[in-house]
Amino acid sequence: MASTSAGDAIDLSGFFADLVRCETRLYNALNDRLRERHGIVTSQFEALRYLRDHPGSRVADLAAEFAIGIGATSKSVDRLEKQGWVVRQPNPSDRRSSLLALTNDGLKLVDAAEGTFTERLAELIGDTLDGPPMSTVAQTLSELRSVLERDQIGMPTG
């Protein structure tokens, strides 16, 4: 009687624990490598990469992408700006907000860090989990993410 069409109810707590623990350890491991080689951490790399790939974004766009608060995002941009990797440019169509852009240094940094990031990620999971099961996981997480984003689940207040 194993494996009904709906699947025997999954241990959601266990699943969640595994999800969080994988995320924590991968994030930590990537932080170590990125800090060592480029002096940034994963969250900074992700922000810079997002800005490279989405020119003209505003603070609110970053916040929505990463599901962190607007305030936190603003401070995070302050720090990137202080390092000279990002600039706030006046937004001609709304003076309340700024358009964010990478500097040349910022661009060089992301491009360099991307190699490190990808390589380390492959070491961490590419070599270990491969093939069909991994595809399923990737696709399922992608769907779950879409649903969570569609329903605005887990967006911080500020």
Partner DNA sequence: TTACACTATATGCCGTGGCATCTACATCGG
Partner DNA sequence: CCGATGTAGATGCCACGGCATATAGTGTAA
3-state helix, strand, coil in the chain (%, to 5): 65, 5, 30
Q: Does residue 77 interact with DNA by CB under 7 A? A: yes
Helix (H) or strand (E) holding 49: helix 42-53
Report, in Å, the least distance between residue 139 CB and DNA.
26
Q: Does residue 41 interact with DNA by CB under 7 A? A: yes
In 3-state terms, what secondary structure has residue 86?
A: strand
CB 103 within 8 A of CB 85: yes
Q: Distance between CA atoms of 78 and 70, rounded to whole angstroms?
A: 12
Q: CB under 5 to 8 A by kind: which of a copy of itself, DNA, none does 111 bind?
A: none
Q: CB under 5 to 8 A by kind: which of a copy of itself, DNA, none does 137 bind?
A: a copy of itself
Helix (H) or strand (E) holding 148: helix 132-150
Burial of residue 106, with CB atoms counted within 10 A of its CB: 0-12 exposed, 13-18 middle, 19 or more buried: buried
Residue list 113-152, contact with a copy of itself (CB under 8 A): 117-118, 121-122, 124-126, 128-145, 147-149
The smaller minimum CB distance to a copy of itself, of residues 66 and 91, is found at 66
Q: CB under 5 to 8 A by kind: which of a copy of itself, DNA, none does 58 bind?
A: DNA
Q: Distance between CA atoms of 110 and 101, rounded to whole angstroms?
A: 13
The smaller minimum CB distance to DNA, of residues 29 and 125, is found at 29
Q: Does residue 23 interact with DNA by CB under 7 A? A: no
Residue choice 49, 74, 107, 121 for contact with DNA (CB under 7 A): 74
- The site for a copy of itself (CB under 8 A) is made up of 3, 5-7, 10-29, 32, 46, 66-68, 117-118, 121-122, 124-126, 128-145, 147-149, 153-156
